[in-house]
Amino acid sequence: MNSGREVKSDPRRRLPAVDRVVSALESGWPDLPLWAAREGARAALAEARERLAGGSQAAAPALDQLAEAAALRAGELSRPHPGRVLNATGIVLHTNLGRAPLAPEAAAAVARAACGYTDLELDLASGQRGSRTAAVVVKLRLLAGVPDALALNNNAAAVFLTLSTLARGREVIVSRGELVEIGGSFRVPEIISAAGVRLVEVGTTNRTHLADYERAIGPDTALLLKVHRSNFALRGFVAEVTLQELAGLGRERGLPLVEDLGSGTLIDLSSHGLPEEVFAPSRLRRGADVVCFSGDKLLGGPQAGIVLTARREHAIAMRENPIARALRLDKLALAALDWTLAAALDGRAVRDLPVLQRLLEPQEQLERRARALAERIRSFAGELDPAAVPDTGYAGGGALPDFVLPTFAVALRPPGGATRFAERLRRARPPLLARIRDDLLLLDLRSLDPEDEKGLEEALRGVLR
Ligand SMILES: *Cc1c(COP(=O)(O)O)cnc(C)c1O
């Protein structure tokens, strides 16, 4: 305990009570909700107390300073989340920015499913209980030409359910070159062990041969797993066993071959220059028994995990696994996925899915947009020296790591440096996300919907005011 004299000189004692800071917020920032004002005030006071702790000689902040800090925090707290941002990073599938934007019609399907009752699990013809995913499973079967499929919460769930169903308590064989981490919390070795499966690593980081797999097969082997490297590429002295070779080995030894493709499409985009490997049905044709991929990467739909199975019994076993219930798709994502798959069946995917619109937009069109945008920015922000510049980008979101995407950007040369300007743009209304290269701030048009260019100008004008 402090002695009386020390307590008196403690500047923390001069901090106002929470209620006084809240009152200051209520009069100065009347639009803030009370709950956010309270929490903002509490946080601002806690921070001030911390700064004054340890016998600091600093003076306690004045009420208006505290209110300012509290308002900032309260404003952050009460902003709807997730909120719209403008993506000028050039990365079309950006995990931190929510990956695939939905088509407006897919979003409308979500709104319809959200606002009223639906026949989610009711068969209207018989009046009996129906299956929530039957409609998307039919569409997946038709698109992929497979006997059965599942739609789950995300691809991590798809991989988990596959492993838990087909290999629980046994071993799976994976190349050391494919023990990847995909942004944040998806790590192949960890998902394998969480599914109750023992990982048998084969080969080396850069080279794995068929003989490595052959030698590792034992009485406890349940399946062979191939994982798409998704977010990086191996170059140089490398060797990898192809899907066909692994399928041959699997057939010979009676082991299913599972592929975690990560990002996949259900329409063949190779005529548009995308590598054939992302076309999920082609992976089954090459011999995979089960292929898993995300709904919100190249497929261009909502967060979901798609499982395509070459054999019905695999899908049936997965559906019967009690953990499937914990991994199921919610009705809002289901509505968006159903719309997205119908668009693919109708032949409208390339035209209507925002992800494909962005990825397939011709370079010449990006150049025209960049030149026009640079001109418009010059008219109100000549000091930023805007110029249209060509660059290269990537699809992102664990898709096409080897696929270099030509792009065009508006380069800005902010007087105070690109990093500081990027920070201000992140706080703009609407927030604008850009890319930095050689102290230039690049506003990349590859990932920016043309409709968002107006908002981009607004954000720029806002930070320059
Ligand atoms: C993205 C990715 C995942 C994780 O998918 P989510 O849909 O985010 O759960 C898993 N494996 C691979 C290879 C991926 O690229």
Identify the sign of the CA torsion 11, 14, 18, 23. Answer: negative
Q: Look at residue 398 in the predicted model and tell me its pLDDT.
A: 64
Whether 228 is in the pocket of ligand 1, judged by its Cβ within 6 Å, is: yes
Q: Look at residue 8 in the predicted model and tell me its pLDDT.
A: 57
Whether 260 is in the pocket of ligand 1, judged by its Cβ within 6 Å, is: yes
Q: Look at residue 208 in the predicted model and tell me its pLDDT.
A: 96
**Beta strands per DSSP E along 32-179:** 86-87, 148-152, 171-175
| Residue whose C-alpha is closest to residue 168's, from 139, 142, 191 | 191
Cα-based distances in Å from 234 to 24, 103, 151, 185, 201: 58, 34, 31, 22, 18
Residue 78 Cα to chain centre, angstroms = 24
| Residue 288 DSSP one-character state | -
Whether 262 is in the pocket of ligand 1, judged by its Cβ within 6 Å, is: yes
Q: Whose CA is nearest to atom 6 of ligand 1?
A: 155
Q: Look at residue 12 in the predicted model and tell me its pLDDT.
A: 85
Whether 305 is in the pocket of ligand 1, judged by its Cβ within 6 Å, is: yes
> How far apart are the C-alpha atoms of 293 and 299, rounded to whole Å?
9
| Residue 60 DSSP one-character state | P
Q: Whose CA is nearest to atom 5 of ligand 1?
A: 155
Whether the full predicted model's pTM is greater than 0.75, yes or no, is: yes
> How far apart are the C-alpha atoms of 40 and 78, rounded to whole Å?
10
Q: Look at residue 235 in the predicted model and tell me its pLDDT.
A: 87
Ligand 1 mean position, distance from CA 158 (Å): 9
For residue 64, the tally of other CB atoms under 10 A from its CB is 11
Give the mean pLDDT per block of 10 residues along the chain (465 residues): 55 91 97 98 96 79 95 95 96 94 98 97 95 97 98 98 98 96 86 97 96 98 94 87 97 98 96 91 98 97 98 98 98 98 98 97 97 98 97 75 86 96 95 95 97 97 94
Strands 257-263 and 290-294: parallel
> How far apart are the C-alpha atoms of 443 and 409, rounded to whole Å?
5
Percent helix, percent strand, percent coil in the chain, to nearest 5? 50, 15, 35
